[in-house]
Structure 1
Amino acid sequence: MTARDELAAAVAELGALPMPTGDTGPAPMTSEQRKAIAVQIGNVQHATDALIGSFAESVANVRNHEHPSWEDLYCMNLTSYMGERMGPVLKRLLDTETENARLRARVAKLEAGSPWERAVAGLNALVDEHIEWDQKASRWILTRDVESAECPSCGAPADDTGCRIPEHRGGCPLDDATASGGAL
């Protein structure tokens, strides 16, 4: 029997099954949906790992056993067993959905901008300034960059306080040599 024949036989036996359309991924539950489910299932404890394992085994047994052409009492017994114990499974699902909603809200809040993100964004917005370590003060300082300025004597980068070479601060030694008429 080909795959097409098997599909036709399954449709003939089961009837047409609904086809999903659009995004078939699970959408987060709304708080209203979670509240409604909580009311419907009442005060039950969430399912244990053992119960979840038992359900998985029952699903496999329903799927894999020989299905008779008459009434399938084995499948009906397994599905009845699972149905009677569905409250704790729904409670576990509800607890998970509630925790997921809390975590989604937390992530959204963090992504909206932490203090570090705001600080980095502010620093990146600076055009002519940067942060550098001041060894004498043992702290970080914000300094202004003036890329086009050069020390007229030595050609090193300069800012509004003079030559940027630390040893030349307070006056470039070359300024003194050129001012006194000395040769370079």
Structure 2
Amino acid sequence: MADTTSRRSGNETRAEILRTALEQFTERGYEGTSIRDLAEALGITKSSLYYHFANKEAIVRALLDGRRNEIDELIAWVDEQEPGSDLLRRAALRWVESTGRERVQGMRFAHANRPIMQKLAAEGDDRRSWFDAVVDRVLPHGTSRAERLRAQMAFDTVSAALFAAQGTAASDDDVLEAAREATIRLTAQ
């Protein structure tokens, strides 16, 4: 096998490993994809892959770090906004409308690989709890539990629409349209 990493920078190789792993883990499952499978799909040696990531779990953690960065960007945006009764809707719609192919693929991965996601959540990498900081910023102090749950649901509409679309002919555009409409309904005042 020819090692193609010499044609890419370390950052480019790392990004390509993450893209390929996300695709492979989603299609074949986390448990069904070996380091050898990833190396072959990338056209690199296993040792080159291990240079960038210690194991498959480290790859998943790096994928989650990317999602965490997106949440941090949303929090920074929320912090710059004028408070108001429509801040929840604006923030949730911003989240839904910023959903691209990679985030949709990441959600598909999470749906298809619940055991590793549950393991990481138990170890402190619970991606669902990341929205707590967003919800804290967009809702007034003293908001009821039901209102907080509805707010969290507004940020989770893409995942819910993907789950509902399983086994159907719904496209990513259909999923995003349904998510947008659900977000609007969940944030109605």
- TM surpasses 0.5: no
Bucket of the pairwise TM-score, normalised by the shorter protein:
under 0.3
> As a proportion of its length, which structure holds more helix?
2
Normalised by the length of structure 2, the TM-score is 0.19
Higher relative strand content? 1
Q: Find the structure with the greater CA-based Rg.
A: 1
What is the TM-score when the length of structure 1 is the normalising length?
0.19
